[in-house]
Structure 1
Amino acid sequence: MFGSFESHPTHKTIKALGLPTLFILLLSLSCFGHLVKAYVLIYAGCSQEKYAPNSPFEGNLNSFLSSVVSSSSQVSYNAYALGNGSSTPPEGAIYGLYQCRGDLPMFECSRCMQSAVKQIGLVCSNSYGASVQLEGCYLRYEHSNFLGSPDTTLMFKKCSRSVNNDVEFFKRRDDVLADLQSAIGFKVSSSGLVEGFSQCLGDLSSSDCSACLSDAVAKLKSLCGSAAAAGVYLGQCYARYWASGYYAELTPESSHEDDVGKTVAIIVGVLAGVVVLIVLLSVCRKTKRKALLNFLSISSYFLEIITLTFILFPD
């Protein structure tokens, strides 16, 4: 339903994923059940430049990610600057932050950030800069200092089908968007059957937050026009609205839980087919070692395709 994607200009779109991605995602899905929506990937961006293994930057990155997991069980936003002192080589400096959606309880914030840390390591392996936006939380790090710098870069947008000649809908939508512009931090708003929410990064002043959200709302209207549901993510804030339904959904028709169920069903079906194939190979060739190698090769091929589809097209 949604066909538009924008990413940070210094980051590249992910084109391929390793096999371990699938197992981590399935573990998250099976463990968290109805909380799965918070961990659905919205967008990810990775820098072209890569750091060397066992470099000072890698050590500071690991410290940063560990601190994020620990801190997110206590506070929903935090920012970090590591390795920028005189005792550390310049190439080791790292700046980063995380933020959970304002309505998430702390235990869910922590779990969301654990998922974000895993996903950013998988999709942006060895990158000097990376960001991931999940439904419930956001994580970013860079080699250069971006903290506190105004950033209204368009990171991502989604626009649904259009609503034609519905005067009442547009009036309600405009009321919601006007209300969302006044947010300081996180805000939920509704008017009639239209709902929405918005959020700024935790270190923005009220004036900077208002300016960012004003830009986000303007982009919503200009880029998505008469869409029944839309979401715009900028560098330091985002705003979303939709026509009726629970506000964690971008559209009433969308169901990430249904998508997850379908994906898991497909995976189980493929694995079942592969198992049957391996049994046949074992009988025909009577060589367990060859059968095992065939199993690993075939299953890796199919799971790679399924994983890539699941991540890049979550809706």
Structure 2
Amino acid sequence: MAYSKLFSLLPLLSIAVILALHTPMATAQLRAFCANFATFHPNSRYEKNLNTLLGNLSSNTPRNGYSSGFAGKCTDRVYGLALCRGDTTTEECKTCVADATTRIRQLCPNNNGGIVWYDNCLLKYSEDDFFGEIDNVNKFYMQNPVEAKDPKAFMQKTKELLTRLADSAALLKSSYAAESQDIGGSVTEYAMTQCTRDLSGEDCKKCLYDSIAELPQCCGTARVGGRVIGGSCYFRYETYPFYNGAH
């Protein structure tokens, strides 16, 4: 809850709707928020701890696609985590997190908290211990501009698929699930769900269910692709294969 409070004061934190077309730039930065009401002095102990933490996340995350930890003591302690998309290779994960750790310092140079999302990973840090808490504050939408031919049927099938994947992700150690389904008319829909692994299975499911409930806000009457991307979980669906292993 402390983490949610931290980011609730961000000036750009209103949920954004971003039109998104398919792009081959899998490592593209999607969005970032900085906690600009709380700052640290250059060369302070907090900054040194932050640099140590980011270095650890960059080194440790590619091993299994996720890592979390803290550096420092008392008021100078900083907490953070990094998560790679469940279908990324070790090399893709390494590249994404390395870029994220560099970019977050550029975007939030003296901020006590920050979060950055890429197609392949997310990274966040804070002066507050946010582990195990659902981040309901840092969130944004992306959508494909193309409308479905049969909006009602399409969105019903999409919701059913995402719900199945949310149930699966909540039970898996990776907290990641992906699947495709035939939705008729020679159209295949692809989807994935994922949570940060500091969440319990129950909280992962809740986080994803709450995000799925935002489908109308995210994707209008029936976009053929969309994402609700948060600080603790996200989903994506498209009518083209966008994740490794899709067929």
- Bin of the TM-score, shorter chain as denominator length: 0.7 to 0.9
Paired-residue identity, %: 29
Who wins on radius of gyration, i.e. which is larger? 1
Give the deviation of 1:121 after TM superposition: 1.4
RMSD: 2.3
Match 1:179 to one of 164, 172, 175: 164
User: Against the structure 1 CA distance between its residues 74 and 36, is the aligned structure 2 distance closer, same or farther, given a 3 Å change threshold?
Assistant: farther
Give the deviation of 1:10 after TM superposition: 2.9
Tell whether 2:214 aligns with 1:219: yes
Structure 2: give runs of 5+ residues left out of the alignment.
1-6, 14-22, 183-187
CA contact (8 A) 1:154 1:232 kept: no
1:44 paired residue number = 32
2:135 paired residue number = 151
1:228 paired residue number = 224
Deviates more, 1:133-142 or 1:182-191: 182-191
What letter corresponds to residue 47 of structure 1 in structure 2? Answer: A
CA contact (8 A) 2:193 2:233 kept: yes
Q: Distance in 1 between matches of 2:138 and 2:179?
A: 23
Give the deviation of 1:164 after TM superposition: 4.8
Give the deviation of 1:123 after TM superposition: 1.2
Q: Distance in 1 between matches of 2:159 and 2:62?
A: 36
TM value normalised by structure 2:
0.80
Alignment of 1:196-207 (within 5 A): 196-207=191-202
Match 2:64 to one of 75, 81, 99: 75
Alignment of 1:207-286 (within 5 A): 207-225=202-220, 226-242=222-238, 244-248=239-243
Q: Distance in 2 between matches of 1:36 and 1:55?
A: 40
What letter corresponds to residue 139 of structure 1 in structure 2? Answer: L
Structure with more of its chain in helix, by fraction: 1
Give the deviation of 1:222 after TM superposition: 4.2
Match 2:154 to one of 165, 169, 185: 169
CA contact (8 A) 1:11 1:130 kept: no
Structure 1: give runs of 5+ residues left out of the alignment.
1-7, 15-34, 250-315
CA contact (8 A) 2:68 2:80 kept: yes
